[in-house]
Structure 1
Amino acid sequence: MTAEADAEALPSLATIADFEKLDIRVGVVVEAAPFPEARKPAYKLRIDFGPEIGVKRSSAQITKRYAADELVGRHVLAVVNFPPRQIGKFLSEVLTLGAPDAEGEVILLTPERAVPPGGRVY
């Protein structure tokens, strides 16, 4: 592989200042409901980020690997300082984070151990 091909495959380098602009927090899913109006199968989540941030809503395309009832009580990571995004009639307030598995389905990112809701990722 050439240096040019390597440069095209990787995103540009970020600084620590770029990372510090993101406010990624631990939250606990308190409610998960089907989102039939979404273009792609998704759930409407309500996630508790503790007393400082409160409960926020998120749309998550995770229906292939998770049932709604198994999401309640799960710790998740989310970006809490992006602008809200209107998805149909639903306002998604945070971006719940995940990574694709070998089949391309989203697997939620979670802390290894339980941490208090609202804990900041750094």
Structure 2
Amino acid sequence: MTDVGTTPRKSMGRMRRLRIFEAHGGVCCLCRNKIDGVREKWTVEHLRALGLGGEDSDDNCAPAHEACRRQKDKVDVAAISKAKRVKAKHLGIAKAKSSLSHPKLKRCLDGSVVHRETGEVVGYGKD
């Protein structure tokens, strides 16, 4: 099982960005189109996300268009969340339980506890 979310992030200075951009020939790692560094917004993207066990090294980084990166981030965030849930389950960490243990009750914003089907107020808070 991969270690999730424990890779420390290094600073991304101008020289490191330049080194990564030149190493990849200025080509977006996601859409494979050439990046015009003056006209287009671009960023350095981790090929394997840090939250999925990727390293913060130049070998794991590549330039990407800002729009392409946003699309990849949506997929990565979902995968990272699932990896964390799976890891917590394998470690035996229980899910948080609701303070309302009865499925037919709900707590309103004013603190009152209401029966879901009848709408009858059952109580107020934990007092």
Larger gyration radius, structure 1 or structure 2: 2
TM-score, normalised on structure 2?
0.23
Higher relative CO (Cα under 8 Å, sequence separation at least 6) belongs to 1
Higher fraction of helix: 2
